[in-house]
Copies of this chain bind each other. A is one copy, B any other.
Amino acid sequence: MIEVGVLGATGTVGQQFIRLLEHHPWFRVTWLAASERSAGKRYDELAWRLATPLPAGVGALRVAPIEAVGDAPPLLFSALDSSVAGDAELAYASSGRLVVSNARNHRMDPLVPLLIPEVNPDHVGLLDVQRTARGGAWATGGIVTNPNCAVIVVAMVLAALRPFRPSRVLVTTMQALSGAGYPGVPSLDALGNVIPYIGGGEEEKIEKEAGKLLGDFDGQTVRPAPFVVSAAVNRVPVPDGHTVIMSLDLAAKPAIEDVVSALDAFTAEPQKRNLPSAPPKPIILHRAQDRPQPRLDVAFGDGMPVHCGRVRPCPVLGYKLVALGHNVVRGAAGAAVLNAELLVARGLAAGSATVPAATSGRRG
Residues of A within 8 A of B (CB): 12, 49-53, 168-170, 172, 174, 177-178, 182-197, 207, 228-230, 232, 234, 236-239, 243, 245, 247, 289-300, 309-310, 314-317, 320, 322
Q: Give the contacting residue for A316; candidates B188, B230, B239; CB below 8 A.
A: B230
Cross-chain contact B170 with A290 (CB below 8 angstroms): no
The answer to whether residues A194 and B51 also contact, given A187-B184, A228-B315, A237-B187 and a CB cut-off of 8 A, is no
The answer to whether residues A195 and B232 also contact, given A182-B186, A188-B177 and a CB cut-off of 8 A, is no
Cross-chain contact A229 with B315 (CB below 8 angstroms): yes
Cross-chain contact B192 with A295 (CB below 8 angstroms): yes
Contact partners of A191 in chain B: CB under 8 A: 177, 187, 190-192, 237, 239, 295
Cross-chain contact B196 with A292 (CB below 8 angstroms): yes
CA distance A191 to B291 in the complex (A): 16
The count of identical subunits is 4
Cross-chain contact A192 with B192 (CB below 8 angstroms): yes
Who on chain B is nearest to A322 by CB?
B196
The answer to whether residues A192 and B245 also contact, given A170-B317, A299-B51, A316-B230 and a CB cut-off of 8 A, is no
Contact partners of A238 in chain B: CB under 8 A: 192-194, 237
Nearest CB on B from A300, distance (A): 7
Contact partners of A188 in chain B: CB under 8 A: 12, 49, 177-178, 182-185, 239
Contact partners of A49 in chain B: CB under 8 A: 188, 296
Cross-chain contact B247 with A230 (CB below 8 angstroms): yes
Cross-chain contact B294 with A192 (CB below 8 angstroms): yes
The answer to whether residues A294 and B247 also contact, given A182-B186, A234-B174 and a CB cut-off of 8 A, is no
CA distance A234 to B320 in the complex (A): 14
Who on chain B is nearest to A228 by CB?
B315
Who on chain B is nearest to A286 by CB?
B196
Cross-chain contact A190 with B193 (CB below 8 angstroms): no
Contact partners of A186 in chain B: CB under 8 A: 182-187
Who on chain B is nearest to A298 by CB?
B51
Nearest CB on B from A26, distance (A): 22
Cross-chain contact B232 with A320 (CB below 8 angstroms): yes
Who on chain B is nearest to A186 by CB?
B183
Contact partners of A197 in chain B: CB under 8 A: 289-290, 310
CA distance A293 to B186 in the complex (A): 14
Nearest CB on B from A211, distance (A): 11
* Residue picked from A229, A230, A289, most chain B C-beta under 10 Å: A230
The answer to whether residues A237 and B237 also contact, given A184-B187, A186-B182, A196-B245 and a CB cut-off of 8 A, is yes
CA distance A185 to B177 in the complex (A): 13
CA distance A190 to B238 in the complex (A): 10
Contact partners of A170 in chain B: CB under 8 A: 170, 247, 314, 316-317
Cross-chain contact B232 with A290 (CB below 8 angstroms): no
* Residue picked from A50, A185, A191, most chain B C-beta under 10 Å: A191
CA distance A191 to B186 in the complex (A): 11
CA distance A189 to B52 in the complex (A): 15
CA distance A178 to B293 in the complex (A): 18
Q: Give the contacting residue for A317; candidates B182, B230, B296; CB below 8 A.
A: B230
CA distance A292 to B297 in the complex (A): 26
CA distance A197 to B183 in the complex (A): 18
9 contacts between A and B (CB under 8 A): A52-B300, A183-B188, A185-B186, A185-B188, A191-B295, A192-B238, A193-B238, A196-B293, A196-B310
